[in-house]
Amino acid sequence: MSAPAAVAWEPTIGLEVHVQLATRTKLFCRCAWRFGAQPNTLVCPVCLGHPGVLPVLNARAVEQGARAALSLGMTVNRESKFDRKNYFYPDLPKGYQISQFDEPLAQHGSIRLDDGTHVRIRRLHLEEDAGKAIHDRGDFGLVDFNRAGAPLAEIVSEPDLATPPQATEYLDRLKQTLRWAGVSDCDMEKGNLRVDINVSVAPAGRRATGTRCEVKNVNSFQSVARALEHEIGRQIAVLESGGTVRQETRTWDEAAGQTRVMRVKEEADDYRYFPDPDLPRLQLSAEWIEAQRAALPEPQAQRRRRYEQALGLSEYDARVLTAERETSAYFERLLAAGSAPKEAANWLVNDVLSWVPPGGGVDDQPIPPEYLAAVLQLRHDGRINRNGGRALLEARAGGDLRSPQELVSALGLETQSDAGALEQACRRAIAAQPKAADDVRAGKEKALGALLGFVMRETRGAADAGKTRAILLRLLQP
Amino acid sequence: MSALPAPNAAAWAEAVRRGDLDPLDGVRAALARARQLDPGLNALLHLDAEGAEDAARALRERLRRGEDPGPLAGVPLVVKNNIAVAGWKLTCGSRILGDFASTFTATVVERLRAAGAIPIAASNLDEFAMGASTENSAFGPARNPFRTDLVPGGSSGGSAVSVAAGYAPFALGSETGGSVRQPASFCGLFGLKPTYGCLSRYGLVAFASSLDQIGVFGRGARDLALAFDAAAGRDRADSTTLAEPVEPCVPQLGRGVDGMRVGLLANSFAAGVEDTTQQRVRAAAEALRAAGARLAETQFPYEEAVVPTYYLLNTAEASSNLARFDGIRYGLRAEDARQLRDLYLRSRDAGFGPEVKRRILLGTFSLSAGYYDQYFTAALKARTLVVRAYLDLFRKFDLLLGATTPTPAFRLGEKSDDPVAMYLCDIFTCSANLGGVPAVNVPAGLGADGLPRGVQLTGRHRGEAALLRAAAVLEQALGGCPPLPQAAARALAA
Ligand SMILES: [Zn+2]
């Protein structure tokens, strides 16, 4: 063994992430695209690469790409261009992919991790997705072209990551940011987000980087961490046994839990990039770029801070309310309707979100924000108590479409704030439960509960608990 | 032999519009002549009699209802078979497309149809428009109607033959480096290569996208103007079409050339350009001078660099454009392949002819890592110089006049084994494609050998109107399209 046993190894990791942009139609034709449609139903001569067709750039995809870049703090280039990446594969209809080679849409962004690591983003470029080759049909290979031409943003980080957990955190931040900006669903299950890993290891402390391997076909965040751990371990083992790491492209075998060689450098494809003569250079005005920036929502972290600092929400509530853009939008509508922030947060987090079905979002539960705002207003006006509020939400969730105002009277939820009536009820409670009354008079405040319960039963829960308590204590003063 | 009812597209449309010619009679006359003559000329790959007759009947209805039937009412049109017409087989002169039929129609064909034209047939061509003789067609060479042992030129040879032999008064071709002007010259026709971006390429099967442009054959300057006006203009389906509105040519056609500055290109009189052609260029110069133009001799710079630049660029783009013909989704597929790689290799080997393979190989090479800068980047730079050279020349001149080709039509097989000799056919034509400027071949009569000669006019970017005004002046002076000699006509009809 030539390497000393005590050497510590330091990995260097960079990630290339392909994100499908949320657009209605494909990047260069007017076909709709979505996950899960019947194979080869979302296609046209353009995305099938028929002879004689030409690409027409989807302006919405450029918008979404620019917004993705701006949300990552990147500079959107006033000028970029499209190139052809030439290679043969059955899922690639034209025999080339339209991509951006040396003049990408955007450059120079970053993501900061919890440990303070600053991960630089080198570039973001637009390109078209390929179709999907299906190999498990015996003698046949099948191809579904529904995805062919879907708009992708490829986001390339600098090799600023050092550990698998950092890589996962980077991806998580990236996903959160892009979902928040509304530019992609980032659903790995649906292939909205795909990751290629670049990793090398070198002795710790030296600034040198080792020979890099690329790992493709990593399809979940957990797999990214597992693939990295395996690949780092493999490279260290090679180096510690005195070998050298070959520059190669490897693939992640999820079932076997290991990476395997796909091709070595000598077999590397020469993609023969050249400017696509079918597409003019992409020119964006400074005003257009600013309009995209203006269209972005308030950044997630900034909004979370605002909820905590300006609105006085708890850290927990602020986090829940800014986890998804829809939740935050719901909350913002409550604020716009004049609801008190803390009360609104409380009801949204503790009540409304409990109706969200598994895997769904706030828009999948039955209470619209206007309804909750009206309930909060009734509470604010003292017309209902907390139980009354819950009853209103339950009525709506149960399919009752009447307004909260109507329901308050229909269900008799109005708070008994009439002091005379409430005092009568309290006197009846004292008469009905003399033992409890005596206990309270004797200073045993615990006994108050039985009397309160009696009043609540009498008023079918409409009595204001605080007021009832005060009246009882006054009547039972020794 | 059945003659066509009108001598050119303009007169044909006029007769239909006036009610003197029934569109169905006209179309049937054209179909009959094509059926009679084409067995000896092989200009057509597909005749759509049914579609053409249906279109003629529909046009008849429009006329009956008193609707405007359009400026090209009822005129039969032949379409080069690398331009898509829905339902027609789109062969590109190649075996690789098999029985593939297009599912949509090219924008230019749609626009000509809207102007009243009636597509009747798809014409033969050099495979994927790569060639200068139509000998590279997988379906056999087309023949020159003036002498059937000669080539009609290429790559749009079938369209040129169709118009010269009178199947139809006008036809669509495509240009990458002279593929309309050169066969127009060999067959005695008017042939226009418009400004890059004036005519939509949507539906034209790409050979070299940055150079390709659909062009028109006609039997007079007015035919070209009518077709150009109907077809030109922005198309949302082709992002390389020009945003500026296109100036219509027909209204300006009769304005002559008085006061125009015409540069006479010195290379038309160089060694290698045959005497008759030189004489015809001088005659054209004199005719323009007599009509009031001011002539001065001039030189096109970088002459020796033009053909290599053109071939580096067209092969590079072709290598990528033809990658889609892979046997996976449509067209020819090798049935015996067991592996994916085999499927590609065998399908493409069986499907492409030798010239197409040569160009794919050349293009793949010049785009390869290590050679890219030396070849592709250098060619892009040279192209920029050509564009600038035209800008400079068109500060001094309104038009350039010169030869279209150094020689008249050559014998079938004469250059088949010498690709460089074949490539040099493009020497006077491909610079207009590199520069993106419009150019036209104007027939200049027959030589003593009975073969057509042509001269070329080149205009500034979007300068079709001036170009066709001058073409109209030369049409008057030089006699327009020469008729087929009686002997040739008799031989064909036999
Ligand atoms: Zn499509």
Least confident of A55-59, A198-202, A385-389, B84-88: A385-389
Interface subset of B 372-431, CB within 8 angstroms of A = 372, 376
Q: How far is ligand 1, taken at its centre, from the CA of residue A47, in Å?
A: 4
Q: Can you tell me the mean pLDDT for A383-404?
A: 90
In this complex, which of B84, B106, B320 lies closest to A84 when CB atoms are compared?
B320
Interchain contact, B103 vs A50, CB within 8 Å: yes
Q: How far is the C-alpha of B223 from the C-alpha of B191, rounded, in Å? A: 10
Burial status of residue B206 (CB atoms within 10 A of its CB: 0-12, 13-18, 19 or more): buried
Provide CB contacts within 8 A for B92, sequence distance 6+: A51, B81, B82, B125, B127, B128, B129, B205
Instruction: Give mean pLDDT, residues A458-476.
Output: 83
Distance from the CA of A28 to the center of ligand 1, in angstroms? 7
Residue A115: exposure state from Cβ atoms within 10 A (0-12, 13-18, ≥19): exposed
- For B376, the closest of A57, A274, A277 (CB atoms) is A274
**What is the phi/psi pair of residue B476, to 5°?**
-65, -45
Residues in CB range of A475: below 8 A, 6 or more apart: A423, A426, A427, A430
Residue B1 has pLDDT above 80, yes or no: no
**CB contact (8 A) between residue A52 and residue B106:** yes
Weakest mean pLDDT among A85-99, A314-328, A446-460: A446-460
Residue A2 is assigned to a structural domain of this protein = no
Cα B174 from Cα B199, distance rounded (Å): 11
Cα–Cα distance measured from residue B155 to residue B182, given in angstroms and rounded to the nearest whole number? 9
| Helices within B330-375 (DSSP H only) | 340-351, 354-366, 372
Q: Give me the residue label for tokens 């049409």.
A: B475
Is B104–A45 a contact, with Cβ atoms under 8 angstroms apart?
yes
Chain A residues within 8 A of B100 when measuring between CB atoms? 51
Q: How far apart are CA A434 and CA B276, in angstroms?
A: 133
| Alpha-carbon gap, residue A212 to A209, rounded angstroms | 8
Kindly give the interhelix angle for A448-458 and A434-441, rounded to the nearest 10 degrees.
130
Tell me the whole-structure pTM to 2 decimals.
0.89
Q: Which of A49, A54, A56 sits opposite B324 (nearest CB)?
A: A49
Report CA torsion sign: A414, A337, A371, A178.
negative
Find the CB nearest A272 among B208, B209, B368.
B368
User: Count H helices, E strands: chain A?
Assistant: 15, 16
Q: Judge whether residue A4 has pLDDT over 70.
A: no
**Does A138 share its domain with A283?**
yes
Q: For residue A117, what are its two tokens?
A: 């690591």
Q: Is residue B444 part of a domain?
A: yes
Are A389 and A458 contained in the same domain?
no
Domain containing B216 equals 9-255+439-449+457-493
Give the pLDDT score at A418.
Answer: 65
How is residue A55 written in tokens?
């690409």
pLDDT score of B491 = 79
- In the predicted model, is pLDDT for residue B308 greater than 50? yes
Listed range (A79-88, A316-325, B125-134) with the worst mean pLDDT: A316-325
- A-chain residues within 8 Å CB-CB of B330? 50
Catalytic pick among B94, B123, B137, B155: B155
Contact A403, A445 (CB under 8 A): no
Residues whose CB is under 5 A from ligand 1 (ion)?
A 29, 31, 44, 46-47
Greater model confidence, A458 or A145: A145
| Alpha carbon distances (Å) from B158 to B29, B46, B131, B163, B466 | 19, 11, 13, 9, 28
Q: What is the pLDDT of residues B354-404, one digit of tens each?
A: 999 999 999 999 999 989 999 999 999 999 999 999 999 999 999 999 999
Q: Respond yes or no on whether the N-terminal peptide bond of residue B319 is cis (omega within 30° of 0).
A: no
A85 touches chain B (CB under 8 A): no
Tokens 């004049």 correspond to A338
Q: State the distance from the centre of ligand 1 to the C-alpha of B113, rounded, in angstroms.
A: 25
| Residue B84 contacts A, CB cutoff 8 Å | yes
Q: How far is CA A360 from CA A294, A326, A364, B103, in A?
A: 29, 11, 6, 42
* Among B107, B321, B345, the residue to mutate for chain A (most A Cβ within 10 A): B321
The answer as to whether A4 is a domain residue is: no
Residue B346 lies in a domain: no
Map residue A197 onto helix, strand or coil: strand
Whether A397 and A437 map to the same domain: the answer is: no
B365 reaches A (C-beta below 8 A): no
Q: What is the CATH number of the domain that holds B61?
A: 3.90.1300.10
- Domain containing A440 equals 419-475
- Partners of residue A250 on adjacent β-strands: A215, A261
Is A140 part of the contact surface with chain B (CB cutoff 8 Å)? no
Structural domains in chain B (count): 1
Q: How far is the CA of A217 from the centre of ligand 1 (A)?
A: 26
Specify whether the CB–CB gap between A46 and A53 falls below 8 A.
yes
Distance of alpha carbon B136 from its chain centroid, rounded? 16
| Mean pLDDT of all residues belonging to chain A | 91
pLDDT for A1: 44
User: A91 and A212 share a domain?
Assistant: yes
Instruction: Quote the CA–CA distance of B283 and B259 in Å, as a whole number.
Output: 18
Catalytic, B137? Answer no
Residue A120 pairs with which residues in a beta bridge?
A110
For residue B242, the CA-to-ligand 1 centroid distance in Å is 24
Q: What is the pLDDT of residues B319-341, one digit of tens each?
A: 999 999 999 999 999 988 888 89
Helix ranges (H only) for A182-324 are 221-240, 286-295, 300-309, 315-321
The answer to whether residue B200 is catalytic is: no
Q: Measured in angstroms, how far is the CA atom of residue A33 from the centroid of ligand 1? A: 9
pLDDT in tens, B344-358: 999 999 999 999 999
Residue-level pLDDT at A265: 66
How many independent structural domains does chain A possess? 3
The arithmetic mean of pLDDT across residues A3-24, rounded, is: 86
Domain of A447: which CATH number?
1.10.10
At residue A140, the pLDDT reads 77
| Most B CBs within 10 Å, among A274, A276, A283, to test the B interface | A274
Whether residue B223 is contained in a domain is answered as: yes
If you measure from the C-alpha of residue B125 to the centroid of ligand 1, how many angstroms do you get, rounded to a whole number? 29
- Do B216 and B168 touch, CB atoms closer than 8 A? no
For ligand 1, the distance from its centroid to the CA atom of residue A143, given in whole angstroms, is: 15
User: What number is the average pLDDT over the span A99-122?
Assistant: 96
Secondary structure of residue A248 in the 3-state scheme: strand
* Cross-chain Cβ contact A90/B340 below 8 Å: yes
What are A115-173's pLDDT values in tens digits? Answer: 999 999 999 999 999 999 887 667 778 999 999 999 999 999 999 999 999 999 999 99
pLDDT for res A386: 87
Q: Are residues A255 and A308 in the same domain?
A: no
Residues A399 and A433 in one domain: no
More confident residue, A325 or B97: B97
Please answer yes or no on whether A277 and B201 come within 8 Å at the CB atom: no
Same-domain pairing of A266 and A356: no
List the single residue in B201, B329, B376 with the smallest CB-CB distance to A48.
B329
pLDDT (tens digit per residue) in B41-81: 999 999 999 999 999 999 999 999 999 999 999 999 999 99
How near does any CA of chain A get to the CA of B338, in Å?
9
Does any CB of chain B come closer than 8 Å to the CB of residue A180? no
pLDDT > 70: what percent of chain A?
96
Of B173, B192, B174, B198, nearest to B248 (Cα)? B198
- Report residue A387's pLDDT band, with 50, 70 and 90 as the boundaries: confident
Instruction: Answer yes or no: do A93 and A141 share one domain.
Output: yes
**pLDDT tens digits along B185-198:** 999 999 999 999 99
Name the CA dihedral angle for A446, A449, A450, A452, rounded to a multiple of 10 degrees: 140
Q: Do B206 and A90 touch (CB under 8 A)?
A: no
Q: Which helix (H) or strand (E) holds B316?
A: helix B303-321
Contacts of B91 in chain A (CB under 8 A): none
Same domain, A175 and A57: yes
Measured CA to CA in angstroms, residue B300 lies from B306, B406, B446 at distances of: 10, 16, 27
Task: State mean pLDDT over B284-306.
Answer: 95
Cβ of B367 within 8 Å of Cβ of A274? The answer is yes
- In angstroms, the separation between the Cα of residue B377 and the nearest Cα of chain A is 10
Mean pLDDT, residues B242-248: 93
Partner residues linked to A311 by β-bridges: none
Q: Distance (Å, rounded) from C-alpha B110 to C-alpha B108?
A: 5
Phi and psi (nearest 5°) for B305?
A: -90, -15
Chain B nearest-CA distance from A119, in A, is 31
Query: B179: which 2 tokens?
Result: 């593929």
- Tokens describing residue B340: 């994916």
Query: Is some CB atom of chain A closer than 8 A to the CB atom of B203?
Result: yes
What's the pLDDT band for B183 if we cut at 50, 70, 90?
very high
Catalytic residue among B94, B123, B156, B179: B179
Whether chain B has a CB inside 8 Å of the CB on A147: the answer is no
Q: Residue A42 Cα, ligand 1 centroid: separation in angstroms?
A: 7
As a whole number of angstroms, the distance between CA B156 and CA B134 comes to 7
Q: What is the mean pLDDT of chain B?
A: 96
The two three-digit tokens of residue A202, written as one number: 């070198």
Instruction: Inform me whether the C-beta atom of residue A48 falls under 8 Å from chain B C-beta atoms.
Output: yes
Q: Any idea how long chain B is?
A: 494
- Alpha-carbon distance of A405 to A388, in angstroms, equals 12
Domain assignment present for B342? no
Mutate to test the interface with A, among B91, B214, B239 (most CBs of A within 10 A): B239
CA distance B350 to chain A (A): 17
Q: Is B201 on the interface with A (CB under 8 A)?
A: yes
In a domain, A3, yes or no: no
Q: Does pLDDT of A376 surpass 50?
A: yes
Model confidence at A268: pLDDT above 80: no
Strand duo A83-86 + A274-275: pairing: antiparallel
- Residue at B167 is within a domain: yes
- Does residue B178 contact residue B430 with C-beta atoms inside 8 Å? yes
Are residues A242 and A2 in contact, defined by beta-carbon separation less than 8 angstroms?
yes
- Report d(CA B27, CA B50) in Å as an integer: 10
List, for residues B252-269, the tens digit of each pLDDT value: 999 999 999 999 999 999
Contact A53 B344 (CB under 8 A): no
Residue B366 lies in a domain: no
The fraction of chain B above a pLDDT of 90, given in percent, is 91
* CB-nearest partner of A93 from B83, B322, B324: B324
For residue A70, pLDDT over 60 is answered with yes
Candidates B267, B263, B260, B318; CA nearest to B291 is: B260
Among A287, A315, A338, the domain-final residue is A287
Count of positions (residues) in chain A: 478
Indicate yes or no: CB of B329 within 8 angstroms of CB of A272: no
Q: Which residues of B touch A279 (CB under 8 A)?
A: 239-240
For the record, the structure tokens of A474 come out as: 């006054």
Q: Is B80 a catalytic residue?
A: yes
Q: Domain boundary at A224, A255, A287, which?
A: A287
Query: Average pLDDT, stretch B154-165?
Result: 97
Give me the mean pLDDT over the B468-479 stretch.
98
Angle value at C-alpha B123, between B121 and B127, nearest 5 degrees: 145
- The pLDDT tens digits for A232-252 are 999 999 999 999 999 889 999
Select the residue from A50, A144, A263, A265 to test the B interface by mutation, using most B Cβ atoms within 10 A: A50
Is residue A5 pLDDT above 60, yes or no?
no
Q: Using the structure block, give the residue that is written with the tokens 């269209």.
A: A295
Indicate the residue type of A311: L
